[in-house]
């Protein structure tokens, strides 16, 4: 069986120092799920059970590192992972890769991570994800660097933002409720276009990384940001 580790360093570069990072390159095995986790995907197609198991294997390894061995990570009603008290985290998968990132709440308010295949978004999707200002910025970036799939990076940054947002607020956040500004230096800034964002600041800084045919975006909000 393939075991989660931190082999590529791609996710670590996006996340930065501090949180625990575990990656699994390959296929997850549903046989490794706890009974409660297995029940959550019992009706799913085999590929979904495999990606779920790959994410759970990473999460289990990342939780063990924080002193929570054998934690059964059952999803909540909006699919959000239910981490142990005192822990925040995030999971993502794309074909061939699953990742989990965890941290203690004393250090980190929330985390969002997203991995994507390094390729342009399918036609028609970009318009649903980007506002006019974002689309114009993506065009400017593409004129400077046509090899980077900027629209998919922007999509991924918004997915990371949602995963960081939802566990704190328990509320939907639409693609039109945030403005993401990507920079060529591997950073991005997300501005939440809502009246209230507490306990999150309105503007959050994240990082993006490309490598091995994969894009990674991550937002890690340190506990001292709100103090």
Ligand X SMILES: CC(C)(COP(=O)(O)OP(=O)(O)OC[C@H]1O[C@@H](n2cnc3c(N)ncnc32)[C@H](O)[C@@H]1OP(=O)(O)O)[C@@H](O)C(=O)NCCC(=O)NCCS
Least distance CB 173 / ligand X (angstroms): 4
Least distance CB 193 / ligand X (angstroms): 9
- Residues 128 to 167 in contact with ligand X, rule: CB under 6 A: 158-159, 161-163, 166-167
Q: What is the 3-state secondary structure (H, E, C) of the chain?
A: CCCCECCCCHHHHHHCCCCEEEEEECCCCHHHCCHHHHHHCCCCCHHHHHHHHHHHHHHHHHHHHCCCCCCCCCECCCCCECCCCCEEEEEEEECCEEEEEEEECCCEEEEEEEEEECCCCCCCCHHHHCCHHHHHHHHHHHHHCCCCCHHHHHHHHHHHHHHHHHHHHCCCCCHHHEEEEECCCCEEEEEECCCCCCCCCCEEEEEEEEECCEEEEEEEEEHHHHC
Pick between residue 31 and residue 143 the one whose CB is nearest to ligand X. 31
Least distance CB 90 / ligand X (angstroms): 6
- Residues 12 to 31 in contact with ligand X, rule: CB under 6 A: none
> Which listed residue (20, 21, 126, 173) binds ligand X by CB under 6 A?
173
Asked whether position 55 contacts ligand X by CB under 6 A, the answer is yes
Pick between residue 85 and residue 144 the one whose CB is nearest to ligand X. 85
Q: Which stretch binds ligand X (CB under 6 A): 5-13, 85-93, 133-141, 211-219?
A: 85-93
# chain residues binding ligand X, by CB under 6 A: 23
Least distance CB 114 / ligand X (angstroms): 5
Residues that bind ligand X (CB under 6 A): 52, 55, 75, 78-81, 91-93, 114, 158-159, 161-163, 166-167, 173-175, 177-178
């Amino acid at each position: 069986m393939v075991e989660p580790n931190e082999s590529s360093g791609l996710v670590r570069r996006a996340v930065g120092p501090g949180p625990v990072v575990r990656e699994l390159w390959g296929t997850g095995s549903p046989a490794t799920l706890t009974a409660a986790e297995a029940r959550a995907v019992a009706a799913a197609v085999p590929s979904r059970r495999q990606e779920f198991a790959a994410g759970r294997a990473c999460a289990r390894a990342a939780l063990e590192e924080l002193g929570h061995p054998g934690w059964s990570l059952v999803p909540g009603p909006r699919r959000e992972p239910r981490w142990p008290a005192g822990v925040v985290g995030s999971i993502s998968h794309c074909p061939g890769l699953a990742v989990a990132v965890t941290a203690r709440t004393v250090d980190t308010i929330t985390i969002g991570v997203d991995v994507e295949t390094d390729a342009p978004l399918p036609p028609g999707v970009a318009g649903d994800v980007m506002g006019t200002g974002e689309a114009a910025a993506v065009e400017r970036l593409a004129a400077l660097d046509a090899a980077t799939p900027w629209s998919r990076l922007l999509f991924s940054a918004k997915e990371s933002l949602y995963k960081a947002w939802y566990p704190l607020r328990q509320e939907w956040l639409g693609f039109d409720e945030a403005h993401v500004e990507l920079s060529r230096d591997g950073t991005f800034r997300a501005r939440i276009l809502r009246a209230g964002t507490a306990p999150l600041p309105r503007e959050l800084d994240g990082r993006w990384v490309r490598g091995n045919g994969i894009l990674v975006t991550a937002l890690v909000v340190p506990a001292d940001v709100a103090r």
